[in-house]
Amino acid sequence: MPGSLGHLTRRFFDVLFSAPLNSAERMAVEGWLDSGQAWVFFSQPDPDQRHGFHAALVVIAGGGDLDVIRAALLHDVGKRHARLGVLGRTYASLAMRLGLPLTGRWQLYRDHGETAARELDSLGCEDLIVDFARHHHGERPPRISTSTWDLLQLADQPPKTSAAPKDE
């Protein structure tokens, strides 16, 4: 189930106005992920890369370790399989909130957590990374501590701005 209407509204504008990662941000991501994880991360559309990067920064500020950073970066990688733009994502999210049936790409978007979890598991990612991808819109699984879950949930909130820092 998608987030609250406020979350969805912020995420809509986050997607709509998201800037691509700059070279310093891309290098940071490459330093946190192994090559397979980086390939999956960078195969996402720019808004999802920006969202994952923002989530990683929140985790770092909260004292999370490398696995928690990776969970923040990779939790939404399943969305890319749906190939939906901002309007398609809006439709899917509203349909989910209203309990309407979804098929095709909208169903893929709805099920992005499970899709991501299977993909991340096939890459050999740690249980925390797979579990957060699978459950980030649901209840905390027992294998994730409450403090780690709370930090990742905080990290999954849309940022107040999508502006990218300038390359230096």
Residue 112 lies in a domain: yes
C-alpha count within 13 angstroms, C-beta hemisphere, residue 150: 5
* Rounded Cα–Cα distance for residues 129 and 116 (Å): 10
> Which domain covers residue 29, as residue numbers?
5-155
Query: Is residue 150, in this structure, part of any structural domain at all?
Result: yes
pLDDT of residue 2: 60
Q: Residue 1: its pLDDT value, please?
A: 54
Q: Is residue 168 assigned to a domain? A: no
Is residue 165 in some structural domain?
Answer: no
Whether 70 is in a domain gets the answer: yes
Tell me how crowded residue 104 is: count the other CB atoms within 10 A of its CB: 8
- What does each of the 168 residues of the chain score in pLDDT, given as a tens digit? 566 677 677 777 777 788 999 999 999 999 999 999 999 999 999 999 999 999 999 999 999 999 999 999 999 999 999 999 888 887 888 888 888 898 899 899 999 999 999 999 999 999 999 999 999 999 999 999 999 999 999 999 977 644 444 444
pLDDT at 75: 98
Is 164 among the domain residues? Answer: no
Number of domains within the chain? 1
Assigned domain for 24 exists: yes
Find tokens 């990218």 and name the residue.
Answer: 164
Query: What beta strand segments (E) does 69-143 contain?
Result: none
Q: Is the separation of the CB atoms in 89 and 109 below 8 Å? A: yes
Tell me how far apart the alpha carbons of residues 35 and 18 are, in angstroms, rounded to a whole number: 24
Q: Would you say 110 and 133 are in contact if contact means Cβ atoms under 8 Å apart?
A: no
Q: What is the pTM of this model?
A: 0.87
Residue type, 145: S
Which tokens sit at 155?
């990290």
Q: How many whole angstroms separate alpha carbon 73 and alpha carbon 139?
A: 19
Closest CA relative to residue 2, chosen from 156, 162, 129, 143: 156
Q: What is the pLDDT of residue 168?
A: 41
Q: What is the pLDDT of residue 108?
A: 93
What pLDDT sits at residue 70?
98
The Cα–Cα gap between 153 and 140 comes to 10
pLDDT of res. 14: 74
> What angle separates helix 23-32 from helix 35-42, to the nearest 10 degrees?
140
